[in-house]
Structure 1
Amino acid sequence: MPAATSKRVRGTQVTRHFIIGNTACDLPAPGYPNPPPENHSKGWTVYIKPLPNGPDMCTWLKKVQFKLHHTYNDASRTIEAPGPFEVKETGYGEFGIEIRLYFAQEAGEKAVYREHYLVLAPYGSEEQQAKQKSQNLVVAERLETIEFNEPTIDFYKALTNEDQFNWLKVKQGQGKGKKPTYVFKGNADPTAQLPEKALENGKPAEGGLGAGGAWSSQFERQVLAQLQQSTAVLDQMLDEEKAMAEERRKKLAAVGATVGAAAK
């Protein structure tokens, strides 16, 4: 049952970004049964994970349900926090995976649905496909966003607590009789927002988007610019098609008039 209105933070919205994706490889491969099950040629893992320098998903995510193809035993797989929120399997075909996300109890929010299409074959340019084949690794990911509008007070406290970044810290400077300290690893500041630039091995990428390029404001702006450019091209094509259609209409009208005159 949703929390009472009086217990929500009015006029506030909190956004959380996360990644949905899968990896796939040809069998046999490390980490998968060898020999593989009969007729199974691919090993794959579908998952939900946080951004490389983002907050801990367990702050807001209670459990994830993955609904696989009905031919799998126990096709509905539920992973509880702290995760990892992933399912590892073998198979031979691609299919859509329904994903249901359940929020933390204090959120007072209903579960939401997402879907991921399992990608097993190399894709992209010839160069990208060649790289995937040489590494025996296909990675298909996309960025997803959830917005919590007017969250409950308790949930808002969890979403704004610095402890949600503790998973990014490592122990440092521990000596005999000294209390260890914990510091953030990598050179990228922890943030709940998309990083400005792409991250590669925990650092801002130079001269390109890098492996984590899709998860940055820079990449987001590039995609928007490409969409705007494509929209302009499409609008031009539609205008040209309308002009040609009008020309065809006039020609047909002229032919109709000629035929009508001859019939008289």
Structure 2
Amino acid sequence: MQFDLFQLKGQVAIVTGCNTGLGQGMALALAQAGADIVGVNQSAPTETRAQVEALGRRFLDLRADMADIGCIPGLLTQALALTGRIDILVNNAGIIRRADALQFGEADWDEVLNVNLKSAFFFSQAVARHCMAQGRGGKIINVASMLSFQGGVRVPSYTASKSGVMGMTKALANEWAAHGINVNAIAPGYMATNNTAALRADESRNAAILARIPTGRWGEPSDMAGPVVFLASQASNYVNGYTLAVDGGWLAR
């Protein structure tokens, strides 16, 4: 096997929402594989930047609210001004709002769909146009969810957005594969991040979740490393429109 298929040396990856958690884990994995990182966040990705630069890779710190797609052209312009190229996009930025469906409000619906789905589509569109213009293809990786497969409870807009991410991934792959652009997604399972702190602190809920995961543990941001590097590298050149569950076997139970 040619293990250099997994190398990303000389490439540039945009990762949205990489200041903490899964986004940070994926940014670090891409940097370890050789890519320079363009981080798009609302708050300072101080730790992520320090770790990426400690690996000898460049890190461009850009700030934006992904609820507003008007920021996307400027982000791409800034990234290209520093790096001169874009090879990989990881649409990781996302939010969640919880309420019973009968009480769920329009503002929470719109905000979640705008960040999780609308911005992912238009960022993908902008990067795909650039990749086609530069003539060497590219990799787009969307972040889906277990709720791309399941319905969930009290998260109607999040479930709709993540189901949409999986469908959008297939649709874009159908159109862009012929241009050398691979569009795929990763669906994380139950991960030990800030977003799940309350679940893990609830003894009964934590036990119930672990009982369903065949591996018997919560996932870690480092568990996203192999999958994201695979989908960003030449190793996945014949993988298109697929959503890869990284869930410790949750969906198999």
Q: Same fold (TM over 0.5)?
A: no
**TM-score (normalised: structure 1):** 0.22
Which of these two proteins has the greater Rg computed from alpha carbons? 1
* Greater share of strand: 1
Q: Normalising by the residue count of structure 2, what TM-score does the alignment of the two structures yield?
A: 0.23
Higher helix share: 2
